């Protein structure tokens, strides 16, 4: 948590949402909560249990990818967009611990029509970057 966290606005969630990343109605999900900072960055500050472990004491690589993907998707929702992942590139820089607070940040960098370009990163409590991602998302129409 840093001094700018006082200015975070919670993003709305619906109780029946079953999304694995953010849905409160999914008993097996990550239950991520997201906030919008004043500079437009989407932020989540989870502490994930060891049930999402890969190597002992650390998150599974697929869960790390999910965290980054979910944050990038949420950054597009703040622009009123529903978009699906087309391509995602991840850099796993350091092991991401379970049972310790994390900070995930994401933001849209630019767009070209329906193509939405986004970036995200996962930070430790001391500000060390643990993983980064960039992605291309394609805007879709809601069902």
Active site residues: 69
Half-sphere exposure of 125 (CA within 13 A, CB side): 7
Give tens-digit pLDDT for 38-71. Answer: 999 999 999 999 999 999 999 999 999 999 999 9
Which domains can be identified in the chain, with CATH numbers? 3-139 (3.10.129.10)
- Residue 136 contacts residue 87 (beta carbons within 8 Å): yes
Q: How far is CA 129 from CA 12, 56, 102, 111, in A?
A: 27, 20, 10, 25
pTM of the full structure: 0.94
Give tens-digit pLDDT for 28-40. Answer: 999 999 999 999 9
For residue 14, give both structure tokens: 């619906």
How many angstroms from the chain centroid is the CA of residue 141? Answer: 21
């Amino acid at each position: 948590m840093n001094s700018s966290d006082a200015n975070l606005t919670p993003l709305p969630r619906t109780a029946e949402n079953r999304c694995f990343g953010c849905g409160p109605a999914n008993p097996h999900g990550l239950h991520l909560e997201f906030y919008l900072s004043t500079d437009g960055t989407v932020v989540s500050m989870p502490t994930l249990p060891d049930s999402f472990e890969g190597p002992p004491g650390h998150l599974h690589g697929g869960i790390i990818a999910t965290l980054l993907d979910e944050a990038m998707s949420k950054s597009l929702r703040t622009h009123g967009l529903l978009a699906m992942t087309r391509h995602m590139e991840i850099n796993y820089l350091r092991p991401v611990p379970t049972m310790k607070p994390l900070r995930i940040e994401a933001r849209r960098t630019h767009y070209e029509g329906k193509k939405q370009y986004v970036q995200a990163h996962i930070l430790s409590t001391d500000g060390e970057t643990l993983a980064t991602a960039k992605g291309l998302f394609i805007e879709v129409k809601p069902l």
